[in-house]
């Protein structure tokens, strides 16, 4: 009896151990651990969602955002609008704003957002390392996402490029009545003048601005595309415009835009000294963000090498990362030396630039 009882007890113990092992073994029918539901629920809870205020058009950025959501599970609530309207909205909403990320155009506008106290520094040090120092705020309040240059463009059958050299040369009387450029109220021109102030000082740049105004073919009106069209139509020979506008016209489905842009060529000014003026579209982490970790995850994704190339192609701009390839169209315009001024200075010197342009009669 004792041996039978001992055998029975051993069998019971073995069955108990076997049952315990089965509970800890993956379910053969499901192929997943029995406790996977706990892990999955934790993952879902950590994903969350973020709200993005974007001054870039929805059709240019939403396909990339959809890819990000598909890969990460993070939902993005996208609100698009003009750069100035979005900044005003952030200011009025204050710390209660639902926005986690702001994407806007021009370093001058990013400076305004920082001055309005709607941004906070981006904490991920790896992001700072991936963006050239010139294209980010020194304290990481914002970072560049894409790069646009503002060179001189000329009508190929009326201008010999050997006549061109620098922005400063545009004040030469030989260009009297031959230049088209948009108004001084445009921040792209304000940033150009701010970069020139940084390089040469106010007195020299004001003298240049007077000469430029004297050489204008018409009163500044319209945007960069309008300047290109005016040159193609014979109203002027030279244009100062952002490269992505020319790229957008050349890749447009509108035959008129393609025809106008096809008459133009790009000249890279100031290659013998500081380089061509460049600017950015950029991104910042909002001070009101309730999901900063997920927000920085989006920023990191947008700054990854592969997405940088896609983002640049979608917008007709250059990647800010040197290891991301620009489009074939942009490559066809040739390599260029760019001004290495830290773009935060464009915002710092903006007020001086605006006053200078006003004194020069630049309307």
DSSP state string for 32-45: S-TTHHHHHHHHHH
What percent of the chain is predicted at pLDDT more than 90? Answer: 80
> If pLDDT is split at 50, 70 and 90, which confidence band does 59 have?
confident
Looking at every residue in the chain, the average pLDDT score rounds to 88
The rounded percent of the chain whose pLDDT value lies above 70 is 87
Based on the fold, state whether residues 158 and 143 are members of the same structural domain. no
β-pair partners for 105: 281
- 134 lies in the same domain as 169: no
The reply to whether 234 and 355 lie within a common domain is yes
Residue with tokens 């927000």: 295
**Measured between alpha carbons, how far is residue 3 from residues 9, 17, 353 in Å?**
10, 21, 101
How far is residue 116's CA from residue 119's CA, in Å, rounded to a whole number?
8
pTM of structure: 0.84
For residue 4, is it within any domain? no
Mean pLDDT over 158-177 rounds to: 98
Could you tell me if 88 and 207 lie in one domain?
no
The answer, yes or no, to whether residue 43 has pLDDT greater than 50, is no
Residues 220 and 352 in one domain: yes
Considering the domain architecture, whether residues 73 and 83 belong to the same structural domain is answered as yes
* Whether residue 163 sits in one domain with residue 118: no
210 plus 116 within the same structural domain: no
With respect to residue 12, please indicate whether it lies within any of the assigned structural domains. no
Helices (H) and strands (E) in the chain, counts: 16, 11
Please check whether residues 266 and 315 belong to one and the same domain.
Answer: no
Q: Domain containing 171: what range?
A: 149-274+346-359
Give me the phi and psi of 102, to 5 degrees please.
-120, 125
- Residue 48's pLDDT is 85
Say if CB 245 and CB 201 are below 8 A apart. no
> Are the C-beta atoms of 283 and 299 separated by less than 8 Å?
yes
CATH number of the domain encompassing residue 54 = 3.40.190.10
Summarize pLDDT for 62-117 with one digit per residue, the tens.
Answer: 999 999 999 999 999 999 999 999 999 999 999 999 999 999 999 999 999 999 99
Residue 339 has pLDDT above 60, yes or no: yes
Residues 6+ apart with CB under 8 A from 45: none
| Residue at 261 is within a domain | yes
CA distances from residue 177 to 172, 215, 344 in whole angstroms, order as listed: 11, 5, 34
Residue 14 lies in a domain: no
Tens digits of per-residue pLDDT, 122-166? 999 888 899 999 999 999 999 999 999 999 999 999 999 999 999
Residue 168, pLDDT > 70, answer yes
For 28, the token pair is: 């053969």
Q: Is the confidence at residue 33, as pLDDT, over 50?
A: no
Give the pair of three-digit tokens for residue 234: 């014979």
Q: What pLDDT sits at residue 313?
A: 87
To the nearest 10°, report the CA torsion of 311, 333, 182, 255.
-80
CA distance 198 to 196: 5
Kind plus residue range of the DSSP H or E element containing 248: helix 243-250
Tell me how many domains the chain contains. Answer: 2
d(CA 102, CA 87): 9
Mean pLDDT value across residues 198-216: 98
pLDDT, tens only, 280-338: 999 999 999 999 999 999 999 999 999 999 888 888 999 999 899 999 999 999 999 99
What is the rounded average pLDDT of the residues 215-225?
Answer: 97
- Residue 352 falls inside a structural domain: yes
Taking every pair of Cα atoms in the chain, the longest distance, rounded to a whole number of angstroms, is 121
Q: Are 302 and 283 in contact (CB under 8 A)?
A: yes
pLDDT over 60 (residue 246): yes
Does residue 351 sit in the same domain as residue 243? yes
**Together in a domain, 299 and 266:** no
Domain for residue 16, yes or no?
Answer: no
In a domain? residue 41:
no
- Per-residue pLDDT for 15 more than 60? no
Q: Which residues contact 179 (CB under 8 A, 6 or more apart)?
A: 170, 212, 215, 216, 217, 236, 237, 238, 239, 240
- Show Cβ contacts of residue 331 under 8 Å, excluding neighbours closer than 6 positions: 325
- Please list, in sequence order, all residues whose beta carbon lies within 8 angstroms of the beta carbon of residue 49, skipping any fewer than 6 positions away: 74, 75, 76, 77, 291, 294
Structural domain includes residue 207: yes
Same-domain status, 236 and 353: yes
pLDDT on residue 47? 66
């Amino acid at each position: 009896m004792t041996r039978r009882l001992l055998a029975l007890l051993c069998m019971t113990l073995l069955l108990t151990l076997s049952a315990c092992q089965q509970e800890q073994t993956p379910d053969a029918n499901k192929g997943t651990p029995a406790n996977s539901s706990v892990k999955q629920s934790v993952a879902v809870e950590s994903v969350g969602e973020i709200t993005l205020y974007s001054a870039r058009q929805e059709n240019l950025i939403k396909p990339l955002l959809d890819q990000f959501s598909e890969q990460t599970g993070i939902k993005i609530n996208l609100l698009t609008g003009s750069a100035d309207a979005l900044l005003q909205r952030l200011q009025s909403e204050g710390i209660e704003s639902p926005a986690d990320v702001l994407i806007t155009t021009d370093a001058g506008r990013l400076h305004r957002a920082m001055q309005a106290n709607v941004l906070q520094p981006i904490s991920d040090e790896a992001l700072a390392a991936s963006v050239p120092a010139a294209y980010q705020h020194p304290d990481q309040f914002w970072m560049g996402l894409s790069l646009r240059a503002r060179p001189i463009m000329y009508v190929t059958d009326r201008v010999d490029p050997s006549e061109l050299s620098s922005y400063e040369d545009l004040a030469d009387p030989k260009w009297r009545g031959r230049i088209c450029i948009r108004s001084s109220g445009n921040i792209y021109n304000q940033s150009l003048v701010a970069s020139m102030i940084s390089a040469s000082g106010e007195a020299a740049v004001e003298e240049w601005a007077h000469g430029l105004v004297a050489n204008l073919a018409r009163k500044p009106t319209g945007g960069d595309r309008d300047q290109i069209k005016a040159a193609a139509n014979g109203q002027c020979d030279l244009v100062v415009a952002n490269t992505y506008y020319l790229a957008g016209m050349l890749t447009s489905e509108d035959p008129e835009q393609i025809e106008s842009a096809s008459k133009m060529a790009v000249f890279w000014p100031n290659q013998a000294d500081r380089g061509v003026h460049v600017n950015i579209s950029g991104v910042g982490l909002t001070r009101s963000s309730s999901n900063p970790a997920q927000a920085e995850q989006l920023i990191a994704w947008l700054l990854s090498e592969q997405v940088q190339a896609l983002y640049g192609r979608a917008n007709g701009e250059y990647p800010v990362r040197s290891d991301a390839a620009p489009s074939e169209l942009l490559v066809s315009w040739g390599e260029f030396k760019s001004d290495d001024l830290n773009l935060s200075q464009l915002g710092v010197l903006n007020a001086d630039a605006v006053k200078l342009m006003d004194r020069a009669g630049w309307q």
